[in-house]
Amino acid sequence: MAHIHFFYVAPEDASPEEFELHGAEYAHAVRVLRKQVGERIIAVDGLGRRYSGPILSIGAKSLRAGVERIEEGAGEPRLRLTLAQGVPRGGLFDWVIEKGTEIGISVFQPMVTAGTVAAPHGRETRWGEKARAAMKQSGRSLAPEVRPICPFAAAVTSARGQALFIAWEEAEVTRTELAAALWGHRAATLLIGPEAGFTEAEVDLAVAAGARVISLGTRRLRSETAALTAAVRLLDAAGDLG
């Protein structure tokens, strides 16, 4: 089966009739993939729309394609999952955003917690670019939101009204129990600690706000591994992994 390439089209460059690729997307389509007039291509706009249709013309700096089909919410999970994570050291949050976007996380909320070693402020733009690139690669149509870094307590407060979960070593729940906890919710927030984990005071604060404590098993996981493992469990319980 041939690999399907998805391109990113800026929302202002798309209409119900046609869309245009410019810059890096144009170069990838024309110079790398050698696309030709008449070939059918697919583009996503990051706002939840996926466009598909034949290439109508290729110019010196732009590619124009007709629109045969527009899909709303293509590739998007039903559960809007926010990953609120104590920022791990180094560039590991870049990796979390890339892989988390692929599996279906909708919002990334980097946090400063009691155990956070360093909060790399100013990387939000880079993280947003990572999310958009992963959206395109994975065939999603809505670019995940990357929020500014905030304190742990603020992340808990912003999850009010959602299903709330915090990963800690003290409790285990089954898939059935997770599904029951998610029932009736369209949005959920998952709290993941940094390398040092959460303090008991942080867990108590989350539980007081209605969080369900979940464990990730008997093996100790790195923060970035825990984030994706827990997110997969929640998306699976919500029926969003296929």
The pLDDT of residue 1: 41
Domain segments of the chain as ranges: 6-72, 80-237
Per-residue pLDDT reduced to its tens digit, 106-133: 999 999 999 887 667 778 889 999 999 9
Taking only the tens place, the pLDDT of each residue in 3-42 is 789 999 999 999 999 999 999 999 999 999 999 999 999 9
For 80-237, which CATH superfamily applies? SPOUT methyltransferase, trefoil knot domain (3.40.1280.10)
Q: Using alpha carbons, list the distances in angstroms from residue 142 to 1, 59, 98, 164, 235.
A: 25, 28, 14, 23, 17
152-207 pLDDT per residue, tens? 999 999 999 999 999 987 667 788 889 999 999 999 999 999 888 899 999 999 99
188, β-bridge pairs = 81, 163
pLDDT at 196: 84
- pLDDT at residue 106, as a whole number: 97
pLDDT score for 242: 59
Q: Residue 135 is inside which H or E element, if any? A: helix 124-138
Q: What is the pLDDT of residue 166?
A: 95
232 pLDDT above the threshold of 60: yes
- C-alpha 43/C-alpha 236 separation (Å) is 27
Write the pLDDT tens digit of every residue in 50-108: 999 999 999 999 999 999 999 999 999 999 999 999 998 888 999 999 999 999 999 99
Select 6-72's CATH number: 3.30.365.10, 2.40.240.20, 2.40.33.20, 3.40.50.1100.
Answer: 2.40.240.20
Q: Give dist(CA 102, CA 123) in Å, integer.
A: 20
Considering the entire predicted model, what is its pTM?
A: 0.91
Question: 136-151 pLDDT, tens per residue?
Answer: 999 999 999 999 999 9
Q: Strands, E, within 148-202: which ranges? A: 150-151, 163-167, 187-192
